[in-house]
Structure 1
Amino acid sequence: MIVLSNDFINGTYRLSKMQFMIIFRLAERIRQEDTDFRTESFTLSEFVGLKKGQAIGNLYEDCREACKFMKGLRLRIGKRTYQVLEFVECPKYKGYIRLRFAKALQPFFLGLKQNFTPVDFEDVQKMGSGVRIRIYLFLRQHLTLKNRHFDFKKIKAMLGYLPKAYPRFKDFDRRVLQPAYSDIKKFGLLDVEQEIRFLGRQIDKLVVKIKGAVKKVKKAVVPPTSAKPPMPACNTIPGLPPWMNARTLEKLRQEYPEDYLMYAVQVVEQKDNVENPMGYFRSLLPREDFQKEFKAHVSELAKKQHAIDLQKAAAKEAEWESHVYQLFSERNNACRQQFFEQHHNRQTVEVYLRHLQKGRNLPHNRRYYQEWMKCQLMFDALPEQSKIAYKGWLVKTYGERGDYDQKFFATEMKNSAYYQLFMER
């Protein structure tokens, strides 16, 4: 069960079905005693509600893109705009996403004691589009009033349509309202009837009569001999546009690549002023300019992915390079300690000490001297005056926190030959 503030329901915004699912999935995790939003983790299969045997298609990628888009999205509620998500983590090929509501939305989801509407997640998930979900929420909000009054211009604005969109009520009713009523009745959510009231020749108000929930009728059992073949898997994909017929899409897959078809679907869905989406969709497919646009889109995605892969490779390379430097330094120091153990006399120690002090501006020399001083055997052999003087120089130059320790790995490989030349002399 999801609990939404009525102020949130009555906001002025337009969301896709996938974007609504993101909000509802997070709202579903909220507890009554919560005082702050938590970062919630979901598997992608759980998040999109994918069932066993259901085709994936581009559903996962659409979900990831919708989450990224929602992070920068702001909704107008009342006279203010509010950020929706303040944290989004959806790594590619990891199979999970992590999300958190922005704190500004707390008044609309947390501690609601009045002016709220409870909604069942399964009910809204059945709706065919984000606009249909909004209309259902409007009606569900005023279920006890039995009649919901809409102003034509205001309802268009609340649904996120520009004033120029659907200037005629006939088109708005056919393309927006009636499909929503159809879904609401089809899934047994509410029994609604619409009445149009005129003021002169102009439409004054829309009155939607709400009669409560429809009794769900059990489907008749079809004998096995007359059972119809199963519909294509794409018919069960949540988010498939209501204007797209599953059988038609299956036939088109034999002529065009699936990613090309899905790109065309997205282009059509992003346009608000298309009166015949299916006709426009079919007209796009054979056009050479649209095919070039799709190739450019794929190329751009490939470039972005290549850049991401390069960044990951560079990060991994730097990690291994640092590891190699550290191993080489440890091995080089071990060889040096072994040399002094075999030639342990004050003369050898003092010669090497003078060499290090003479070239102490070299990072690898400071590194060697520091490690040498840590060894108790070599520490005892060092002249006390030189030892104190060099320690003082290290502290004065790099501070007491030992920041100089981090400065040696980067030049270890480059300067290691210097020590080898000294040892060969």
Structure 2
Amino acid sequence: MYDETKPLVFNQLNLVSKSNSLVEARYKLGTMEQKVIAAIASNISPDDKDFQTYTFSIKEFKELIGSKSKNIYHEIDKVMTKLMQPFNFINAEGKPTKIAWLSKATYNVGEGTVTVRFDPDLKPFFLFLNEKFTRYKLGNIIHLRRSYSIRIYELLKSYEGLAERTFTLEELRSKLGVENKYPHWINFRQRVLDPAKEELEEKTDIMFTYEPIKKGRSIEKVKFIIKPNPKNKTLMTNIVEQLEKVLENEDVLEIQEKGKELGLALPKKLVQEWLKYGKENVMELMESIQYRGDIENKIGYISSVLRKKAESEEKMADVDQVQKKIREVIHYFTPRQGARKVDLLPEWLVKSTAVDIFAKDMTPEEAEQLWEEKRDEIMEEINNRRRKVTT
């Protein structure tokens, strides 16, 4: 239903999927408009049978794209107005069509949010994509500063597996929406191609070089050589780290809000310390003391309980590790299936092997001490198993 809305999730690891016919189409959008379109597309599920209506926070979008604008609300208003206006869309077959990107764009006054929905005419370009489509992580384009860089990224990404792609200069100008700009090759190269080349190598998962192809004295075509970006691993690591920071901030805010219910003003640094013990543990503990009147210092109580619980879990983990080592020793001396007769083992023989096994994860002194503590338990279990074979 059109009245139902979903929150637009800004996750740089979300996948943007577009049909190649849309990637190849001729249209002109600014940098901000392209990022809004990509962010919405990245929330579409492969199972969606229709477009959803989404609401997003302008502040969160600003943080996602790293904007330093002091008037982001005005800019978003201009973006939404432009995306609602029909434009001359020239598809891959060269057929002119008037189409709008959005069928709905509501600025929620006082809430700092915008509600949006793709125009239904765009369904063939975003839904039910089984073949001939381009897919990439939102994080690859969300920090690009130039609209040309985004368009070139998508055009090359669709040919990534083929390693190279050639456009006529006229065709390339048209796809980038600069038919009447930078008429001289040197200006086009310096203002469009070189900056895009630098940005893609710095911020995306692909990189390219290009070769101008002449006809006579004029540049007729441009050949792009597309390569995977060796920096990609670092880039994606940075994206994941940024995402983790966003999620951590959300957790901090949620715990601070819960603190207000308990009458507590919780500093961010304190909450970050608590989060080391697990958000679920913190929230559960806060819930359990919300209506208790016998705790004077709730902050101190929460910190103490979280710390003690962590120490207890750490001790349990150590115990589990010790038991694992003991089972390894016992298993080492357990007779194989089918053995007919085995002898009971002397303590000195078992000790030598047990101490070697224990010493893999502790000092020789600690291994010796563990053997002394668990010797009787180990020997009894080993020889009981061996007795079962002989009887």
TM-score, length basis structure 1: 0.48
1:57 aligns with 2:73: no
**Which structure shows the bigger proportion of residues in strand conformation?**
2
Separation in 1 of the partners of 2:65 and 2:42? 19
Contact kept in structure 2, 1:188 and 1:214, CA below 8 Å: no
Residue 169 of structure 1 aligns with which residue?
A: 185
Residue 231 of structure 2 aligns with which residue?
A: 215
Residue 30 of structure 2 aligns with which residue?
A: 16
1:193 to 209, 234, 240: 209
> How do 1:333-372 residues align onto structure 2 when only pairs under 5 Å count?
none
Separation in 1 of the partners of 2:191 and 2:65? 30
Separation in 2 of the partners of 1:56 and 1:204? 39
1:147 aligns with 2:160: no
1:93 aligns with 2:106: no
1:40 aligns with 2:40: no
Residue 334 of structure 2 aligns with which residue?
A: none
SS at the partner of 2:148? helix
Separation in 2 of the partners of 1:30 and 1:115? 17
Give 1:49's aligned amino acid. E
Contact kept in structure 2, 1:90 and 1:96, CA below 8 Å: yes
Contact kept in structure 2, 1:123 and 1:189, CA below 8 Å: yes
Residue 45 of structure 2 aligns with which residue?
A: 31
Give 2:102's aligned amino acid. L
Shift of 1:45: 1.8
Give the 3 Å change call, closer, same or farther, for CA 56–178 of structure 1 in structure 2: closer
Separation in 2 of the partners of 1:51 and 1:100? 20
1:3 to 1, 12, 17: 17
Shift of 1:213: 2.2
SS at the partner of 2:99? strand
Contact kept in structure 2, 1:84 and 1:105, CA below 8 Å: yes
Separation in 2 of the partners of 1:148 and 1:126? 24
Give 1:90's aligned amino acid. Y
Residue 67 of structure 1 aligns with which residue?
A: 80
Give the 3 Å change call, closer, same or farther, for CA 203–37 of structure 1 in structure 2: same
Shift of 1:156: 0.6
Listed one character per residue, the Cα deviations across residues 273-326 of structure 1 (whole Å, up to 9, x for unaligned) are xxxxxxxxxxxxxxxxxxxxxxxxxxxxxxxxxxxxxxxxxxxxxxxxxxxxxx
1:158 to 172, 175, 185: 175
Separation in 1 of the partners of 2:206 and 2:64? 26
Contact kept in structure 2, 1:8 and 1:77, CA below 8 Å: no
Residue 123 of structure 1 aligns with which residue?
A: 140
Listed one character per residue, the Cα deviations across residues 341-371 of structure 1 (whole Å, up to 9, x for unaligned) are xxxxxxxxxxxxxxxxxxxxxxxxxxxxxxx
Separation in 1 of the partners of 2:47 and 2:109? 34
Separation in 2 of the partners of 1:122 and 1:191? 15
Contact kept in structure 2, 1:48 and 1:63, CA below 8 Å: no
The number of equivalent residue pairs is 217
Shift of 1:56: 5.2
Q: Identical aligned pairs, as a percentage?
A: 27
Shift of 1:214: 2.4
Shift of 1:73: 3.6
Shift of 1:174: 0.6
1:134 to 148, 151, 157: 151
1:109 aligns with 2:126: yes
Contact kept in structure 2, 1:2 and 1:119, CA below 8 Å: yes
1:182 aligns with 2:198: yes
Separation in 2 of the partners of 1:55 and 1:156? 30
Shift of 1:60: 2.4
TM-score, length basis structure 2: 0.52
Moved over 6 A (4+): none
Aligned alpha-carbon RMSD (Å)? 2.1
Shift of 1:216: 4.7
Structure number with greater Rg is 1
Contact kept in structure 1, 2:65 and 2:142, CA below 8 Å: no
Give the 3 Å change call, closer, same or farther, for CA 16–190 of structure 1 in structure 2: same
Shift of 1:202: 2.0
